[in-house]
Structures are given as C-alpha cells and as structure tokens.
A and B are shown apart, each in its own frame.
With several copies, the nearest count.
Chain A
C-alpha cells in the first residue's frame, strides 16, 4: 500500500473546524485533484500533507511511512504554490539549486563565505548537473541566469515546477498552480503538468478551482464541501454519477439542470413503481432529476430527430421551454431557456451537428430527455439508485 494515506485528519483554527475527519487513500502514481468552493479546506489539507500545518488528530502515511511527525523537508514532497514562491533575490539557477543544497549539504557547508572552502566540488558538480537536467527538461536553460522578476508568468511557473522536480520527490503537491496565468498560458502549462505526471509516474495532489483542469488532468477528484469529502472518484464518475446535488451542481459548465420529477408526467409512474418499498410516495414527490445540458435534445417540429443511440430509447420524457438567450461559443451553443410553467431556468448545450435548425430568442421549443442519462436525487439531495445503476454508466 504505497502512495499517500490520510487517516482521520481533523483540524480546527481556533473555534472553526476546518477539516472533519478526512480519510483518503491516494494510490501511487495517481493524479488526485482537490476541488471545492473557496474556504472548504483544500489548502489546509494540502498543507497538512506537506507538514506545514499540524493536524489536530490523525496521521499521514507516505509510501507506508508514518510522516505525521516529520518536518516538511523530511517528507520528501515537493510543493508548488499559487504565487510560485520563488526566492526573488536569487537567480533561477540558485532557486533550482536550493532544495538540493539543503538536502545534500550540512549546515557548515552552507555558511556563506565559508562554503567556498567547505563545500567540495563533487557535491557542487552533482548539484549543477541535476539542475541542468531539470532545466533542459522544462526548457528553461536559457533563463538560468535571470532573476524571477525578469520572467513572465509562465516561465516563473515552470521554474517553480523545476524547483520541485530537482529533489526527486515522492509526491507533488500543487495549490492552484495555474490560477495566476492567463487563459492561453494556462492551457499550455496544464499540458506540461500532465506530461510531467505521465513521465515521472509520481503521485500528484493538485488543488484547483478550475473545472477544466480538474476534469482533464486528474485520475481522481476529491470534491470537498465544508471540510468534508462529498465524493471521491474519477472525473467521469463525478460528472456522470454525482452522489448528490452539491457535487452535480459543482461539476460541469453550464450548470446541471435540476428538474423536479413531477414535471415529467410521462414517467412518474415508472419511477414510483421502481422506488416502491424504499421510498414513500411523499418522498418521491420531492425527487428531482439532474440533467446535464447536453442531455437535453431539442425536438424541432419539422426535424426528423435522429436517434442513433439505441440506449437512449428508454425512459424518455419531454419538456416545453422558451428560449431566453443564446450564447454562441463557436463550436457549441448554450441555449438558456425558461420553463413555461414556472420561471426556473433550463440550460441546453447544442453542439455542432447535433441540431441544425434555427434557434432564436423567444421561440418555444420542446426538449427531449433521455432520463437514463440523468440522475435522480431525493429530497436531501442524495442520489437515488432505483433503476440506473452506477456501474452501467462508468467506463
């Protein structure tokens, strides 16, 4: 059982309990992403893993060693910070050397001036070689003699990555490492990090606010809410079978549509039947469907609706809506509609090719939903499994 295990971690700051009995098992080589709204405790958890913060209770295992009482530097972790945290007065090279210098030399060898005498050249060369390797890998060789202040955001981020790379850590911890970059740059550094993960095969714990990052980079996502894990699973599990409405709402953009079961007259029967025994009919009245925007298909009167996908045939229902606004992203449209009956909003994703008619503001359209793709939640927001089984949907 190598990798990273977090057992029963609790943490309070003063009177505020920030982490509630956190348990996670992150496997060796996993890219584990922590998401959740601001203030839910992501950074705190990361800092506890790194040793910068001490948990009130609980323990941390890294590669089967209990590191709970170790100093950060002895845990053999690397951490990348949101603001890069480069040493501003040192050259890039010195920034990269630092972790090695600290790890490989004794205090005496580091005393300024004295070190010229005490630090032997073998160690020096070794460090230099290491740094050069990493710099080559990250394509920052030409920046080695600059100071962080003279670099662009993306370059700084790469240096920060480099600094964490040189020490060959067991685990990478990253706290929103891309959030200070602009959109274009974010995309390219994202790819670099994914690349790095693939190449090194190391365990990554990654904190982000950004949906796309979480979905595309992670092998697992842990969604936190008020200091607890709501769901831990693969990105597609979180997207397709969220355990509750909180998760469902959090993941996916535009937001998932939450529609009461009772709005789909066609299928109340079927659901009631399937739920019988487990739920009372009062319960069932409060059931809601969570339907992803791309799972709502527009049935234009004239169009001969394609039905290529066989699985969609069961449990179909319809919904009448009025178009409020259309956002054209080029490759897809977001159609914002309102329900005719009540004023709640419905969002539809229309991808190129999936609908070829004309949509315009004010039109009334009919939507078809394949409720097989949707999730059903009870009054508490918990996912209800009555006929769709989670297993079905994975893969």
Chain B
C-alpha cells in the first residue's frame, strides 16, 4: 500500500514537473522565435499595419506581392545574393584549407614555436576586425584591390577560431591510426586529407555554419571595401531601405526576411552534423 502511494505521488510529481518544464521551454521557444515571426508577418503588411495595437500574424490588407517584388526584382537582388554566396564560400574554402593543416600540426605534430603559434591564435581570437581594419584597408588600397572579391574576403582568410576548434577536435583523433598510416606509407598531407578530414566532417560542418553565418551577416567590412553596386552583398543591400528620414518598412522587412532565410535554411540542413560537431570538438576542454 505504502509503496503504491509513494509511487503514485512520485508519478504525479514527475508529471507536473515535466509539464511545467515543457511549458517553460515552449514559452521560451516562442520568445526566441517571435522576432522572426514578427519579421515575416511585417514583410506581408503595408507600413501602417505594422504597429497596429492588435497585432495579428496575417495582415488585414496583405501586400505580399508588392513588398517582395520590389525587393527581389526592382533591383539586382540575385546579384547581391550571388555576391554574398561567392564571398562566403570563398572565405570558407580558404579558411578550411589554411586552418585544417595548421590545426593538425598543432594537435599531432611537435615543432619548435608551437606554443607561440598557439598562443598567438588564442590572442587572435580576441582581436576584433574593428581594430585591424584600417591597416588592412590601407594595404588593400596599396595593392589596388579595393572593391574586389579578394578584398571582401581577405581579412577572413584565416580563422583563428577554426584553428582552435579543429585543434581541439583533432586531439581526440587516435594517434594509433595516424601511426598506422605512417607505417602504411601515407605522407602527412595524405593523412590530413584522407584520414583526419573525413573524420572531422561534423566539426567542419559546425564551423562552416559559424563561418557562413558570420560572413553572410557581416556589414562592417563590406561597407569599407565594397564600392560598386556590382559587389554589393545581400546584407549590404539592406542599407537601401532607410536614411535619416525615410524608412521603407515594407521593403526593409521583406528584404530582412529574404536575407535571413538562407542562413536559417543552411543551419537547418547542417543541423545534425552541426550539433554533433560541437559535441565532438571537445570544446568542453
């Protein structure tokens, strides 16, 4: 009897707690998602409906076509997206190509100056682009590369974060496999390409999401080095919707939605790998 009672209570407790925590989590999730929902909703609305006191998701006078048409077709939006893609992909590729071997060397090889290198990588993590932008800008002007894809990508060609992340990850890669490979006759480069990289797919995709998101969203650097319309990125094109006195709200939120969407989709696609990658990188230490 006693036990049954106890079980009953436990069961009940457990249930209530679970329900409460689910409620809390859903409430939190709603808060996290609300800005997106609001944005999408607003992108369907005429300006005067956006601040209606009785907010509804669906507008009373939908203006979906007009809002999106002006964003997508009245300007070279396809070009802007293409520019963003080119920049993000170029950056990502170079980052991977430069950081993976370096991370491997730091994690699995011994060489003099290793600690200094790792130290400067840690320091690099703390240096924001704001600090180094002027010297880099001057350098780019010197070589006459302003307003090129190269200029748009260059400061991000090395990611110290990637090196750090991959180093942590590679540390967990078994030494014995690398040694087996050495005995089998792999060169170090081949070890990296054929063994380490395939095993690091989750970490690489985790990093790719970070990198892609960061550079897709970057505004600071494109504002400095992009001068022509031809090189304008999607995020940069968001600038066209407001000046001091005029904000094209309809266009702005439609554009915001269109600019945000690719990242969200990219994340959803890479989600599994991404979460696993984070879990496996031993960021935990």
Chain A residues in the interface with B (C-beta under 8 A)? 47, 50-52, 66, 68-73, 77-79, 81-83, 85-89, 98-99, 102-103, 107, 110, 112, 163, 167
Contacts and interface: CB of A to CB of B under 8 A. Distances in A.
A52 B199 contact: no
B183 A78 contact: yes
B176 A99 contact: no
22 contacts: A51-B183, A66-B3, A69-B4, A69-B6, A73-B185, A73-B186, A78-B183, A81-B176, A81-B179, A81-B180, A83-B174, A85-B176, A85-B179, A87-B177, A87-B180, A87-B181, A88-B199, A98-B186, A102-B185, A103-B184, A163-B180, A163-B184
A163 B181 CA distance: 11
B244 to A, nearest CB: 54
Contacts of A77: 183
Interface string B186-201: 1100100111001100
B7 interface: yes
Contact of A83 (B6, B7, B176, B194): B176
Q: Which 3 A-B pairs give the minimum distances between C-beta atoms?
A: A102-B185, A73-B185, A85-B176
A222 B193 CA distance: 39
B198 A89 contact: yes
B12 interface: no
Given A89-B198, A99-B185, A107-B187, A70 B179 contact: no
Contacts of B182: 52, 71-73
Contacts of A98: 181, 184, 186
Centre residue among A66, A73, A86, A103 by max chain B CB count within 10 A: A73
Contacts of A69: 3-4, 6-7
Contacts, number: 69
A19 B183 CA distance: 22
Contacts of A85: 174, 176-177, 179-180
A193 B51 CA distance: 75
A21 B184 CA distance: 29
A71 B180 CA distance: 13
A69 B1 CA distance: 11
A82 B3 contact: no
Contacts of A102: 184-186, 190
Contacts of B193: 112
B183 A73 contact: yes
A103 B185 contact: yes
Contacts of B194: 87
Interface in B160-213: 174, 176-177, 179-187, 190, 193-195, 198-199
Given A72-B183, A73-B186, A112-B193, 7 more contacts: A73-B184, A77-B183, A85-B179, A89-B199, A98-B186, A99-B184, A99-B185
Nearest to A66: B3
Nearest to B3: A69
B195 to A, nearest CB: 6
Nearest to A81: B176
B164 to A, nearest CB: 24
A50 B175 CA distance: 15
A219 to B, nearest CB: 24
B127 to A, nearest CB: 34
Nearest to A76: B183
Q: Which of B3, B180, B183 has the most CB of A within 10 A?
A: B183
Contacts of A78: 183
A79 B194 CA distance: 20
A102 B182 CA distance: 10
A78 B176 CA distance: 13
Given A69-B3, A70-B3, A50 B176 contact: no
B3 to A, nearest CB: 4
Contacts of A73: 182-186
Given A70-B3, A89-B198, A52 B183 contact: yes
Task: Pick from A51, A86, A87, A167 the residue with the most CB of B within 10 Å.
Answer: A87
Contacts of B179: 47, 50, 52, 72, 79, 81, 85
Contacts of B181: 87, 98
Contacts of B190: 102, 110
